[in-house]
Amino acid sequence: MQPDHTTVQSSRASTYDVGLRSHFQSVYNTMAGGLAVTGILAYIVANTPVLMNAIFGTPLMWVAMLAPLGFIFLGFNPKAVQRKSAAQLRVLFYCFSAVFGISMASIFAVYTGTSVARVFFITAGMFAATSIYGYTTKRDLSGMASLMIMGVIGLLIAMVVNLFLQSTMLQFVISAIGVVVYTGLIAWDTQSIKETYNVAHGHESNSKLAVMGALSLYINFIMLFQFLMQFMGNRN
């Protein structure tokens, strides 16, 4: 006796739901691991004067600040991702997280540990709420993607300009826009991760997608955290 069409569809939907939950678990676990690596490295460097002086008291500071961009452009570009296995991408992601942690040590050195912890948990709460929205909403968020990307470009230009102006008001505006932009990107990226998952891709391809999804959400989390620190952080 052949199973009816409704039973087959129900079985496929159940398989998809289980696979999607497993996929997002992999995304969030990888992202959380990256955040842990970043936080540990940032704390160690910030509380080790020899390392702080060696990195941020010399031209190595620019290497530490620009190295994460090198990882993005060289290690995570589409051609590089295609050549690497999911396991290799995951290792590269954790290396990227470690380098980012070194570059963020200045935040741990400038702000009090209490305010860093407080803003981290606020960021985590905002991230969770926004990511859940991106996962559950039926609204197509792709329409705001171009606006968010334009916002990121505008933020980068404004931040470079403010390096010379040193305007407190401009920094406040940049931080406010940054919070809005990266909150929107969290929702959009979450929806994109959900839409790109497909059982037909196979385990290896979906594992790669999980790492790349973790990378996107990790960057959004870190940037949101940094902009919130501008509002809520208490300096030493």
HEC string of the chain equals CCCCHHHHHHHHHHHHHHHHHHHHHHHHHHHHHHHHHHHHHHHHHHCCHHHHHHHHCCCHHHHHHHHHHHHHHHHCCHHHHHHCCHHHHHHHHHHHHHHHHHHCHHHHHHECHHHHHHHHHHHHHHHHHHHHHHHHCCCCHHHHHHHHHHHHHHHHHHHHHHHHHCCHHHHHHHHHHHHHHHHHHHHHHHHHHHHHCCHHHCHHHHHHHHHHHHHHHHHHHHHHHHHHHHHHCCEC
What is the average pLDDT across 212-225? Answer: 96
What is the average pLDDT across 61-82? Answer: 88
Q: Is the pLDDT of residue 1 over 50?
A: no
| Structural domain boundaries enclosing 65 | 5-232
Q: Which of 82-91, 123-132, 225-234 has the lowest mean pLDDT?
A: 225-234
Q: Is the pLDDT of residue 27 over 50?
A: yes
Percent share of the chain, pLDDT over 90? 62
Q: What is the pLDDT of residues 147-189, one digit of tens each?
A: 888 888 999 899 888 888 888 898 889 999 999 999 999 999 9
Q: How many domains does the chain have?
A: 1
Q: Is the pLDDT of residue 4 over 60?
A: no
Q: What is the pLDDT of residues 72-114, one digit of tens each?
A: 888 899 999 999 999 999 999 999 999 999 999 988 888 998 9
